[in-house]
Amino acid sequence: MKTENYLCIDIGGTNIKYAILNNAGNIIQNDKIKSIHNKKGFLNQIDKIIDQFKGLKGIAFCAPGKVQDNTIYFGGSLPFLDGINFNNRYNELKVPIAVINDGKASVLAENWLGSLKDLDNCAAITLGTGLGGGIIVNGRLLSGVHAQAGEVSFMKLTDQKYDDKIAGLQYSAVQMIKAINKNTNNDSEDGLRAFELINKNDSDTVKIFNQFCYGIATVILNIQTVVDLERYAIGGGISAQPILIEGINKAYQQLIDNNPIISNMLTKPEIVSAKFKNNANLFGALYNLLLTENHETL
């Protein structure tokens, strides 16, 4: 099969990651830049990325927010994305362009070539600025009537009437890392430093980490009660840390052990690390474009 190169762009609250991938799912080259948080500056960044490359077979985007017909709505942590349609903006390039929600991209990547390969009932949860989610049920990507399925960031995990906290704010990996580093008088967002402290088993640090794991386990349990999946792949930069997957599995087991009705009724799903870690969205964006080109859906 002839290999062809695609530009894949993963728009995130912290960074814009981009890569040239071929249709076999191999990264040819990749890079990232810090996201500018205003529309004009951001679009200028995207223009400059695209201008670097010639002879592309297509351009694949993934972004936070609701995505319908290649248009982004709201934009999650980047609300200025609301209303942007990259297909229209780069129409003169005369190449296929496809846009997908970042959470849905992550589950497509893992189902295509990763930790969820060939599974008909599975999910991916990406830990970053917020919580990204993508769900596959009976071999189909779950989109929903309003293209909002999998928006796990908006789960309410408290019954307090006037508490406006949602899962994506309470259990942000970025905020967890900041809290751990701040606890030792360091205001950095250095994830490696935070996990060094976690692995040293410092009591205050472990308390913050365990609370984070408990929150992610609660999100998984809530999803599981509705769609009964076989496996969850945990992605994002911190998923490279083995203690994270151990921590989430332990927290999940504690959740069901504390309630005999749950433990007797619900089978615990597998919770594993995503193969593509922080690059899952790039692969998923490409797979979405390949499916679109072939007039297929998952």
User: pLDDT confidence of 163, banded at 50, 70, 90?
Assistant: low
pLDDT in tens, 177-235: 999 999 888 877 789 999 999 999 988 999 999 999 999 999 999 999 999 999 999 99
Q: What pLDDT is stored for residue 84 in this prediction?
A: 96
Higher-pLDDT residue of 298, 100: 100
pLDDT (average), residues 22-26: 93
pLDDT in tens, 41-62: 999 999 999 999 999 999 999 9
What's the pTM value of the predicted model, to 2 decimals? 0.92
Q: Is the pLDDT of residue 1 over 60?
A: no
User: pLDDT confidence of 77, banded at 50, 70, 90?
Assistant: confident
CATH architecture classification, 5-101+279-293? 2-Layer Sandwich (3.30)
Q: What is the DSSP string of the chain?
A: ----EEEEEEE-SSEEEEEEEETTS-EEEEEEEEPPSSHHHHHHHHHHHHHT--S-SEEEEEESSEEETTEEES-TT-GGGTT-BHHHHTGGG-S-EEEEEHHHHHHHHHHHHSTTTT-SSEEEEEESSSEEEEEEETTEE---TTS-TT-GGG------TT----HHHHT-HHHHHHHHHHTTT-----HHHHHHHHHTT-HHHHHHHHHHHHHHHHHHHHHHHHH--SEEEEESGGGG-HHHHHHHHHHHHHHHHT-HHHHHHSPPPEEEE-TTGGGHHHHHHHHHHHHHHTT---
Q: Is the pLDDT of residue 137 over 90?
A: yes
Domain with CATH 3.30.420.40 in the chain: 5-101+279-293, 115-274
pLDDT in tens, 237-296: 899 999 999 999 999 999 999 999 998 999 999 999 999 988 999 999 999 999 999 878
Q: What pLDDT is stored for residue 87 in this prediction?
A: 94
Instruction: Decide yes or no: CATH 3.30.420.40 for domain 115-274.
Output: yes
Q: Of 1-10, 50-59, 72-81, 127-136, which range is least confident? A: 1-10
pLDDT (average), residues 79-108: 96
